[in-house]
Amino acid sequence: MKFEALQARYGDCLFITYQEGTTVRRILIDGGPAGVYRQSLSPRLKAERAGLGSGESLVIDGIMVSHIDEDHILGILDLFKELQTQKQKSAPLSYRPTWLFHNSLDSLAGEGDGGMARGAGGETVLASIGDDIASRVNGNPVAAEVLQSYSQGSTLSRLAAALSVSSNPPDKNVLMLHPGNPTVLRIGDASFTIIGPLAEDVEGLRKEWCDWKAKQKPQVALAAYLDDAIPNLSSIVALLQYGSKRILLTGDARGDKVLEGLQKSGLWSGVGSFEVDILKVPHHGSDRNLDIDFFRKVKARHYVISGDGTYGNPDRKTLEMVADARPGEKFAVHLTYSAEHCDETHTQWLQVRGKPPFKRGKDSIGDVVQAWKKAGMIDVLEGPVAVTP
């Protein structure tokens, strides 16, 4: 079994492969933001396909979009658009996805396809947003990003249907955790236990959406409402188990929600720690989603953090929490970009946005990484991640 985290700028793009006899299983988790498909994901898939015969499609057994934000979905959207173009030209498909695991905003809200758009005031208000999206929301950047994500999710659903890729087996319903009765998906000999989002949170979102729809607020208010709800509720969180190996996939979920899901799924009693081989650290290592208690309760042999310094991710505080939660213990931390690269990008990101300047003692992850290397207890690996757990 091999776990890879490709360089995906400020997003996630994970590729997992494992061998079952003569069959290779392939699972793709997220595709990163704009440019990542061309720079990282497409070359990796082409390399995987290189050993096949001419015109033979590479089977991708499962594709999961853990979160609708553009830093997770755009690379997957680019992949599906490429396949749709090949289909329209009657050319052999380079890749053949089997399953798509994806919770659309419509499904989370309990609506049919395009239902949220209609509820917001018309079929084209959200579902057909184009390049002029900023003008439609009075230049509000948060509103623009959220509504664009809605449009991207809707497009992905349509492309998947056109390519005959089945979504959310076995019943096409929202992937969420019903306490005591978790959904377990199987891809070959591997199992995915869905531990988030929680069904009670989805039900709360649906109630709030119905209340909002009844008031018919303007688009900018809708975007603000969705932006508040999405990060807390919509990330698919799953435990991948293959033989004795366990990988915890967390998307952008909050740490407390991950812990709650582990307990309510019956995977963890809540006493002691829950141990995994690989933890995909939530939300690119943002300290806004995590606290030290999370790292005391979820312990990994390998911590994987995707981020290039944009938005300050991974945060210095997060790295410090990982170390402080496990003093004297041996483990590895994998960064998809070098600490130096992250610090440089973080510095530029602050400058462009007119924020307080980068302060090494407060913001630098390079200092933390150097201290770890000097101490020799924590193994630090920087660059594209490839782990055999």
Work out the mean pLDDT of the chain and round it to a whole number. 88
pLDDT reported for residue 208: 75
Beta bridge partners of 58: 95
Using an 8 Å Cβ cutoff, are 312 and 277 in contact?
no
pLDDT at 232 over 60: no
Closest CA to 247 of 367, 334, 132: 334
Q: CB of 273 within 8 A of CB of 233?
A: no
Is 178:160 a contact under the CB 8 Å cutoff?
Answer: no
| No. of helices (H) and no. of strands (E), the chain | 16, 15
* pTM (2 d.p.): 0.91
Name the DSSP class of 271. Answer: S
Structural tokens at position 17? 């492969």
Q: What residue spans define the domains of the chain?
A: 272-389
Picking from 143-152, 269-278, 293-302, which range would have the lowest pLDDT averaged per residue?
143-152
The least confident of 66-75, 244-253, 309-318 is: 66-75
Contact, 232 vs 282, CB < 8 A? no
Tell me the pLDDT tens digit for each residue of 14-72: 999 999 999 999 999 999 999 999 999 999 999 999 988 888 999 999 999 998 788 89
DSSP 315: P
Helix (H) or strand (E) holding 368: helix 366-375
Range name among 106-120, 125-139, 283-297 with the lowest pLDDT average: 125-139
Percent of the chain exceeding pLDDT 70 equals 85
Residue 176 and residue 262 in contact, taking contact as beta carbons nearer than 8 Å = no
Q: What is the DSSP letter of 109?
A: T
Distance separating alpha carbons of residues 220 and 234, to the nearest angstrom:
20
| Dist. CA 322–CA 365, nearest whole Å | 13
pLDDT for the residue numbered 222: 58
Per-residue confidence band for 115, with pLDDT thresholds at 50, 70 and 90: low
What is the rounded average pLDDT of the residues 120-139? 47
State the average pLDDT over residues 297-322.
Answer: 97
CA distance 289 to 188: 33
Mean pLDDT of the region 168-187: 90
Closest C-alpha to 75, from 33, 12, 29, 103: 33
Nearest of 45, 43, 22, 41 to residue 33 by alpha carbon: 41
Helix (H, G, I), strand (E, B) or coil at 52: coil
Lowest mean pLDDT among 187-201, 209-223, 241-255: 209-223
Quick one: pLDDT at residue 302? Answer: 98
Whole-number pLDDT of residue 210: 78
Tokens at 248, concatenated: 């915890």
- % pLDDT > 90, the chain: 69
Helix (H, G, I), strand (E, B) or coil at 150: helix
Confidence of residue 134 (pLDDT cuts 50, 70, 90): very low
Q: Are 281 and 305 in contact (CB under 8 A)?
A: yes
Main-chain dihedrals φ then ψ at residue 234, nearest 5 degrees: -95, -15
Residue 133 confidence (pLDDT): 46
Residue whose structure tokens are 């440089």 = 344
Which strands make up the sheet holding 14-20, listed edge to edge? 166-167, 95-102, 58-65, 23-29, 14-20, 2-5, 385-387
> Is 337 in contact with 383 (CB distance < 8 Å)?
yes
Q: Which of 11-25, 147-161, 180-194, 288-302 is predicted with the least confidence, judged by mean pLDDT?
A: 147-161
Distance of alpha carbon 328 from alpha carbon 377, whole angstroms: 7
Write down the pLDDT at residue 170. Answer: 79
Q: Is the pLDDT of residue 144 over 50?
A: yes
pLDDT (average), residues 366-381: 95
Given a contact cutoff of 8 angstroms between Cβ atoms, the answer to whether 118 and 202 are in contact is no
> Among residues 105, 148, 157, which one has the least CA distance to residue 130?
148
